[in-house]
Amino acid sequence: METIMGVTSQRVSDRTMARLELDDLHAEVAEGGEKILDGVDLEVQSGEIHALMGPNGSGKSTTAKVIAGHPAYEVTEGAVRIHLDEDEFDGVEIPDEMRTWDLLDLEPNERAALGVFLGFQYPAEIEGVTMVNFLRTALNAKLDEREELFEDDEGEAEEADEDAGYETSPMEGDVEEGEVGVAEFQEIMSEKMEQLDMDAEFAQRYLNAGFSGGEKKQNEVLQAAILEPSVAVLDEIDSGLDIDRLQDVSTGINALRDEQGAGILQITHYQRILDYVEPDHVHIMLDGKIAKSGDADLARKLEDEGYDWVREETYETA
Amino acid sequence: MSSDQDHLRETDSEKRFEFKKEQNAAFAAEKGELDEETIRLISEDKDEPEWMLERRLRALRQFHAMPMPTDWPSQPDLSEVDVKEIVPYIRPDVDMRGSVDDWTELPDEIKDTFDKLGIPEAEKNALSGVGAQYESEVVYQNMQERWEEKGVIFCNMDKAVQDHPELVKEHFMTSCVPPSDNKFAALHGAIWSGGSFVYVPEGVTVEMPIQAYFRMNSEGMGQFEHTLIIAEENSEVHYIEGCSAPQYSKFNLHSGGVEVFVGENAHVQYSTVQNWSKNTYNLNTKRAICESEGTMEWISGSMGSKATMLYPSTILKGRGATDNHITIAFAGEGQDIDTGAKVYHNAPDTKSTIESKSISKDGGRTNYRGLIHISDGAENSSTSVECDALMFDNESTSDTMPYMEIEESKVDVAHEATVGKIGDEDVFYLQSRGLDDDDAKQMIVAGFIEPITEELPIEYAVELNRLIELEMEGSLG
C-alpha cells in the first residue's frame, strides 16, 4: 500500500486530529453491480489539503460517497478507517481501544459524529426546514452520537455532558443538557456566515431550497465550518461558482484547515480553485484507483496537458 | 414558552395516549337499537325544550331512512360501524348542570386526565378560554370577562340551547348542515351532545383564539359534539378544536358536527388538530356559509383514527367572499384517511384556495377528495387547489380525487398535485450531517408540513409535530 503522509500538521484548534484511511477500497453500484472502485488507497490527515482529480467516470464522486456511507454503493473489498489521534474528543474521553474505527461498519450519521464531512456536488433541497434549525439539530445530533459512540460506561457520558459546558439561558427553551442552545447557536452561525460573506437572511431560508448553484456550494462550506469535521471531503465544490464566490468558498475552505485544523479532500476538475486553496497533495484517479500522486505541480501539469499522459504512463508500467 | 415546551415534552410520552380512567358514569344509555325512546331519554336528561327534541326525532327518522354510504369511489370501509354497538351518551360523574368555571372545582381524576393532555398549560399561557369536553359534557369552560363585556358568547352547546334559544333555533342544523345532508349528519342530529357555541356580535374582534379540547374516554362510546359558530358582520374570531383519544380494544365512532356562519365582511378561522385512537371511525360534517366579503379559513390536521372521512366545506354565498383550506393528513399502518375540502362558489368575485398535504407510511392510505363547484353566474371567481402527498414506502398509498364542476366561463381555475416518495438522497444528505435515519425522515416530514404548522399557534404546532414524530416512531398504537 502506498502511503502518502503529509507535512507535520500543526495543531491550530481544539479539533480532534484524525487520519482518514482508504485501504484497497473496492466498491460497486449496489443495484446492478457495476464496478466503480478498484482498489483505492489514500490517506488524509487533519491539517492537510489533498486534491483528487481525474476524468469523468473515474470514481472520484463514488469515493466521496462511499466514505460518507451512501447506500447506493456496496463495498466489496477493502476498508475505510478513521484513526483519532487524541485521547479526548470535545471533552469526551477516548479509550485507547477506541482510537480506530472501521467506518464501513457505521451509519452515515455515526461517521459524521467521528468527524467525517461530505460536501455534496448536488446538495439536497429540503423544503420547510430552516438553515438555522437544521444546523443546530445536526450539531446537537452529532454531539449526542459522539457521546454514544464513546460511551464505555454510563459515568463517563454524564461527566462528558458537564465537560462540554455549553451555556444555556432559560430564555432558549428547548435545550437539553449538553446541547447547544438557540441563542448560542445563532451566534456561532452568524459568525461563520460572516466569514463566508453570506447574507444573514440565509439563516431563516429553507435548506438549499431555491438556492442558486453558487449559494448551495457556499452553504456546504458553511455547514462544514459549523460542524467542525476532522476530515472534510468536498465533491466539486468549485463547479458552478463565479469568481467572487469561488474566492469566498476558497477562503472558507482554507479557514477549515487553518483555523479548525481539518483535513481536506477536495475533488475537482479544475486548477482554478487550487490557485486559492493550495493543495499539499494531488492525486489522479483513473479507472477506479489512484494512478498518480504528487504535489501542487501535478495539478498544474494536468491543466496544461490533460490526462492522456497519465493514462499512458499508468498502462505502460502496468 | 420554555415551561410550555417542557411540559409538552413531559407529557408526550406513549403513556399519554394510553391512559384510561376508571369512570363512574352517572348515566349511560343502554346499548341496543337506537330508537325514539333513547332519544327522548337523552333529551329529557338534558332538560331540553320541546323544539330540540323534535329536531332530534326528525333527524333519527332521517338516519333510519338513509342507506349507509358505500358507493363513493375508493371510500374507506365502514362495514364495521354498527351504531347499535355504541353507547351513545355518557356523562362524567360530576355534579353539575352547566359548567364549572374554576379549574380547582374539577375532580382530581379529571384534572389528571387534562394534565396529561397539557390543557392547564395552555390555560396558564393565557390562551383565553379553554373549553374541554370530557366524555360528552363540557365540564370546564373559562372565558375572559372582557369578551363578555363585548357580548361574545362562548359556552357549552347544551347550555346554549337553554340560554340562547333564538340564536340556536335559527342556526342549529337548519340551513348549514341539515340532518338530511348525509347519514352520519342525521345520526349526529339525533344524538348530539356537548360541543361549543360561539357568538361574536357585529364589529367585535376576538383577539385571542378560542380553544376547546375534546376527547373520548369510555370504551365503545360515541362522541357527537356539535359546534356552532356565529360571526356577525365585521367580526373576527379564531376557534381551535383539538382532539386526542386514548386507545381502546373496541371500535369508537366520532361523528361531530360543525356549523359556521360568517357574516358580511367577517373573518372566521377554524383550526383543528385531531388525534383519534386507531380504532375510531371519524366521520364528521363541517360546513361554513360565508356572506359577501366574508372570509372562512379551515385548518385541519387529521391524525390517528382507523378511518376518517372529513371534507370541511364552505358555501361562498355573497359577492367577494373568500375561503382558505389548509389540511394535513397522516396515515400509518391500517389507517385510511380520506379527507379533503369542498367549496361552492355561488356568487361573483368569490375566491378559494386549498392546500392539502398528506403523508402515508407502513401501508397506510391517504386520499384527497375535493370538490370545487362554481355556479353559473359566479363570474370572476377564482380557485386554486394544491395537493401534495408524501409516501414513506412502496406499501403505502396516496390518491388524489379533485373534482371540479365549473358552470361559469369567466373564472380562474388552477390545480396542481404532486405525489412523491421520501427521497433517499434527501435522507442521506441529512444523515451525512449527523442526523440518524429516523430523525432525518422526521425532519423532512416536518418541513413538508411546515406551511401548515406555521399557521398554527405555537402550542398546536409543537403538538402536531410531536404527534407526527410519535407516529413515525411507531409508538402510538
Q: Is residue A3 part of a domain?
A: no
User: Which residues on chain B are in Cβ contact (under 8 Å) with A181?
Assistant: none
Q: Tell me, what's the pLDDT at A173?
A: 43
H or E stretch at A284: strand A281-286
Q: Do A206 and B436 touch (CB under 8 A)?
A: no
CB A41 within 8 A of CB A5: no
- Chain B from 2 to 61: CB within 8 A of any A CB: 2, 5
Q: SS3 letters for chain B?
A: CHHHHHHHHHHCCHHHHCCCCCCCCCEECCCCCCCHHHHHHHHHHCCCCHHHHHHHHHHHHHHHHCCCCCCCCCCCCCCCCCHHHCECCEECCCCCCCCECCHHHCCHHHHHHHHHHCHHHHHHCCCCCEEEEECCEEEECCCCHHHHHHCCEEEEHHHHHHHCHHHHHHHCCCCCCCHHHCHHHHHHHHHCCCCEEEEECCCCECCCCEEEEEECCCCCEEECCEEEEEECCCCEEEEEEEEECCCCCCCEEECCEEEEEECCCCEEEEEEEEEECCCEEEECEEEEEECCCCEEEEEEEEEECCEEEECCEEEECCCCCEEEEEEEEEECCCCEEEEEEEEEECCCCCEEEEEEEEEECCCCEEEEEEEEEECCCCCCEEEEEEEEEEECCCCCEEEEEEEEEECCCCEEEEEEEEEEECCHHHHHHHHCCCCCHHHHHHHHHHHHCHHHHCCCCHHHHHHHHHHHHHHHHCCCC
Q: Which residue has the higher pLDDT, A160 or B152?
A: B152
Give the single-character DSSP code of A206: B
What CATH number has the domain bearing residue A55?
3.40.50.300
Q: Is residue A2 part of a domain?
A: no
User: How close is the nearest chain A Cα to the Cα of B418, in Å?
Assistant: 14
Q: Do A137 and B443 touch (CB under 8 A)?
A: yes
User: Is a pLDDT exceeding 70 seen at residue A15?
Assistant: no
Q: Do B2 and A72 touch (CB under 8 A)?
A: no
Q: Tell me, what's the pLDDT at B156?
A: 83
Q: Which residue has the cell 347550555?
A: B159
User: How close is the nearest chain A Cα to the Cα of B461, in Å?
Assistant: 13
Q: Do B447 and A223 touch (CB under 8 A)?
A: no
For residue A234, give its domain range. 18-317
State how far Cα B335 lies from the chain centre: 17
Give the span between the Cα atoms of A202 and A219, in whole angstroms.
9
Out of B2, B430, B433, closest to residue A173 by CB: B2
Q: Do B444 and A108 touch (CB under 8 A)?
A: no
B422 touches chain A (CB under 8 A): no
User: Is a pLDDT exceeding 80 seen at residue A247?
Assistant: yes
Could you give phi then psi for residue A224, rounded to 5 degrees? -60, -45
Q: Do B446 and A129 touch (CB under 8 A)?
A: yes
Q: Is residue A46 part of a domain?
A: yes
Residue among B388, B422, B429 with most chain A CBs within 10 A, to mutate: B429
Q: Which residue has the cell 333519527?
A: B60
Q: Is residue A151 part of a domain?
A: yes
Out of A69, A124, A145, closest to residue B434 by CB: A145
Q: Tell me, what's the pLDDT at B293?
A: 98
A173 touches chain B (CB under 8 A): yes
User: How close is the nearest chain B Cα to the Cα of A225, in Å?
Assistant: 12
Q: Which residue has the higher pLDDT, A198 or B475?
A: A198
Closest residue, chain B, to A128 (C-alpha): B447
Q: Tell me, what's the pLDDT at A86?
A: 77
pLDDT by residue, tens only, chain B of 477 residues: 344 444 434 434 444 444 444 444 444 444 556 788 888 888 888 899 999 999 999 999 999 999 888 878 888 888 878 776 654 444 333 333 333 444 455 556 445 545 555 544 444 332 333 444 443 344 334 555 677 888 999 888 988 999 999 999 999 999 999 999 899 999 999 989 888 899 999 999 987 777 765 444 444 444 788 999 999 999 999 998 765 544 444 557 888 899 999 999 999 999 887 777 777 888 889 999 999 999 999 988 888 888 999 999 999 999 999 999 999 899 999 999 999 999 999 999 999 999 999 999 999 999 999 999 999 999 999 999 999 999 988 899 999 999 999 999 999 999 998 888 898 999 999 999 999 998 999 899 989 988 777 776 676 677 677 777 777 765 433
B258 touches chain A (CB under 8 A): no
Which stretch of A12-21, A60-69, B100-109 has the lowest confidence by average pLDDT?
A: B100-109
Q: Tell me, what's the pLDDT at B297?
A: 96
Alpha-carbon dihedral angle through residues B176, B179, B185, B187, given to the nearest 10 degrees:
150
Q: Is residue A290 part of a domain?
A: yes
Q: Is residue A7 part of a domain?
A: no
Q: Tell me, what's the pLDDT at B244?
A: 52
Number of structural domains in chain A: 1
Q: Is residue A57 part of a domain?
A: yes
Q: Tell me, what's the pLDDT at B474?
A: 55
pLDDT exceeding 70 applies to what percent of chain A?
Answer: 85
Strands B137-140 and B130-134, sheet pairing:
antiparallel
User: How close is the nearest chain A Cα to the Cα of B135, in Å?
Assistant: 33
Q: Is residue A4 part of a domain?
A: no
Give pLDDT tens digits for A204-244: 999 999 999 999 999 999 999 999 999 999 999 998 888 88
Q: Which residue has the higher pLDDT, B458 or A277?
A: A277
State how far Cα A184 lies from the chain centre: 24
Q: Tell me, what's the pLDDT at B220?
A: 41
